[in-house]
Every structure is written in structure tokens, then in C-alpha cells.
């Protein structure tokens, strides 16, 4: 479908105008493993929290995909100095323009609990990860969900005035409904560099891979990912990120079992701490 609503930049600006009045209490990032945290001097509770709100306009010749939005948060429930217990919650709404101008056709939930151990400059965590997918204004009576038991390694490296956060993870599906996945793997790189105390630049790349059960499907391993870059504007109590990028998402459609990947350009904003 042609981009009848105008440019990506125009739509991203419209999203910001619509959502910013409701966003002032929140600070955010895209759903990702718990953020880097310096160990406290002694064990403590609720040592870190990050709430997120983001919206991105999508450019693709398909009226099912017009906007991608996220809202949620993650926090460290307890930090025992040598590691921490964390929780993450995210709700994603995918909006199209099939039925109306803003047609929320998908609602996807992500829940995760993790516990980690710090080992020098890296952090090693075990996690239980749940994803469930739901349709809005569409008929669906069967569940689409999966649970992953796995782990990840996280670290932060300073490089020439910038910081590089690296996360490598993977796991095995211990429960699944209406999907053919058997295992998952992911890589996340986040680079930040300040220009001055108010403005900075950042770039992020994520990649994911899903192993497929040959007893359920003839598909090969599925691979997707996202790349984005943008500017960060620091305020007194939070910051605003403006970004643009590209994404390839596997099994993205509102027919979630059709086995098709979709690709789109994107531009949007994110409220962060």
C-alpha cells in the first residue's frame, strides 16, 4: 500500500505529539535484557528501574504494518553485589491501516525473570522468558506462545569516548503453542557516544535466530534483526531519542502461523532515562 500518510518523519512526529502528554512519568528503552548496572556497595533492593515508551512509523507496502509501539519496564528486584535478580515486562502493539487509520491488529506480551552473577567485566545470567501473541479485532481462538529457559552474557566496554554494551544469549523452548521453534539465539550491540552534556549519538544492532523442529515444519532456521541509529537529547529527568533504521521480523503477520518474514524501514522516538 502506498505511504498515504506522508513520510516516515511526519508520522514519527505525529506519534510523539500524541503520546508525549501521557509519557512524562515514564523512561524507556526498547525491550532488551536488563540494562548494565554497577554493583552496589552492599546488598539492596530495587537498585535499578527503567520504564520505556516508544513509537515507530513503518514504511512497507502492506497496510497491516503502519506503527510499532512498546510500553513496559524492567527492574532489579534485588542486587546481592555478586549479581542481581531482575524482571522485565513489555507490551507491544502493532498497528495497521486496514480497518481504520489506527488499527491495532496485534498485541504481544513479553515477560522475563532472571538472576545473574558478576564475573569481572562481564555478567552471566540465567533467565526464564515468555512471549505470547494476540490479535486485535481479529478472530483467533488458539494460543500462540512459547517459554524459553536459557542464559546470556552481558558486558560494557569503553572505546574512544564511547560505551559499547554487548549481550549474547540463547535458550531452549520448554513449552510452545502454535509455533515450530525449538531454540533461540540472539546478539545485541548498543553504542553510545556523547557530543556534549545535552546531546549524544547512538547506534544499535540486534540479531536473532530460531531453530525449527523438523517434525513440525520443513522451514530452515529463521533469522531476523534490526539496525537503528539516532540522536539522544538529555533533559533534567530523562532523555528523548530520535532514531531511524531497518528491521527484518520473522513470523510477523497477523496470520501468525503463515511462516512469513517481513521487512520495513522505520523512524520514531523513544523516551529513556
Every domain of the chain and the residues it spans: 8-272
Share of the chain above pLDDT 70, in %: 86
- Kindly report, residue by residue over 186-236, the tens digit of the pLDDT: 999 999 999 999 999 999 999 999 999 999 999 999 999 999 999 999 998
Distance of CA 245 to the CA centre of its chain: 14
Does the structure show a pLDDT above 80 at 22? Answer: no
Q: Is the pLDDT of residue 261 over 80?
A: yes
pLDDT at 23: 34
Q: How far is CA 47 from the centre of its chain?
A: 22
CB 93 within 8 A of CB 84: no
* Size (the chain), residues: 273
Beta bridge partners of 252: none
- Contact criterion met (CB below 8 Å) for 128 and 147: yes
* pLDDT for residue 89: 96
- For domain 8-272, is the CATH number 3.40.50.11900? no
Q: Which of 178, 114, 121 is nearest to 146 (CA)?
A: 178
Strand 262-272 relative to strand 44-59: parallel, antiparallel, unpaired? antiparallel
What does the block give as the cell for 17?
A: 505529539
Which carries the bigger pLDDT value, residue 177 or residue 1? 177
**End-to-end C-alpha distance for the chain, whole angstroms:** 36
Looking at per-residue pLDDT, the higher value among 13 and 157 belongs to: 157
In this predicted structure, what is the pLDDT of residue 33?
Answer: 57
Specify the pLDDT at position 8: 53
Q: What is the pLDDT of residues 86-120, one digit of tens each?
A: 999 999 999 999 999 999 999 999 999 999 999 99
Dihedral through CA 3, CA 106, CA 267, CA 102, nearest 10?
50
Q: Which of 106, 96, 4, 54 is nearest to 245 (CA)?
A: 54
Q: What is the pTM of this model?
A: 0.84
Residue 38 has pLDDT above 90, yes or no: no
Looking at residues 52-72, what average pLDDT do you find? 95
Amino acid at each position: 500500500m502506498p505511504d498515504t500518510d506522508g513520510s516516515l518523519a511526519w508520522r514519527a512526529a505525529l506519534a510523539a505529539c500524541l503520546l508525549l502528554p501521557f509519557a512524562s512519568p515514564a523512561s524507556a528503552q526498547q525491550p532488551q535484557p536488563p540494562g548494565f548496572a554497577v554493583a552496589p556497595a552492599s546488598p539492596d533492593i530495587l537498585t535499578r528501574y527503567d520504564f520505556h515508551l516508544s513509537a515507530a512509523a513503518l514504511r512497507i507496502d502492506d497496510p497491516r504494518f503502519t506503527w510499532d509501539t512498546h510500553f513496559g519496564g524492567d527492574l532489579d528486584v534485588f542486587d546481592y553485589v555478586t549479581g542481581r535478580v531482575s524482571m522485565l515486562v513489555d507490551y507491544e502493539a502493532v498497528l495497521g491501516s486496514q480497518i481504520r487509520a489506527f488499527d491495532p491488529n496485534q498485541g504481544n506480551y513479553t515477560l522475563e525473570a532472571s538472576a545473574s552473577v558478576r564475573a569481572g567485566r562481564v555478567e552471566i545470567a540465567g533467565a526464564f522468558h515468555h512471549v505470547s501473541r494476540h490479535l486485535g479485532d481479529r478472530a483467533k481462538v488458539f494460543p500462540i506462545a512459547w517459554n524459553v529457559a536459557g542464559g546470556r552474557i552481558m558486558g560494557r566496554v569503553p572505546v574512544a569516548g564511547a560505551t559499547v554494551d554487548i549481550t549474547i544469549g540463547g535458550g531452549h523452548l520448554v513449552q510452545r503453542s502454535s509455533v515450530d521453534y525449538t531454540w533461540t539465539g540472539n546478539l545485541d550491540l548498543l553504542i553510545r557516544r556523547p557530543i556534549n552534556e545535552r546531546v549524544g549519538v547512538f547506534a544499535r544492532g540486534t540479531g536473532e535466530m530460531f531453530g525449527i523442529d523438523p517434525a513440525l515444519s520443513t522451514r530452515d532456521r529463521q533469522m531476523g534483526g534490526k539496525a537503528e541509529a539516532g540522536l539522544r537529547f538529555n533533559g533534567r529527568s530523562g532523555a528523548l531519542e530520535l532514531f531511524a533504521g531497518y528491521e527484518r521480523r520473522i513470523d510477523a503477520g497477523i496470520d501468525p502461523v503463515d511462516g512469513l518474514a517481513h521487512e520495513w524501514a522505520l523512524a520514531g522516538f523513544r523516551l529513556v532515562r
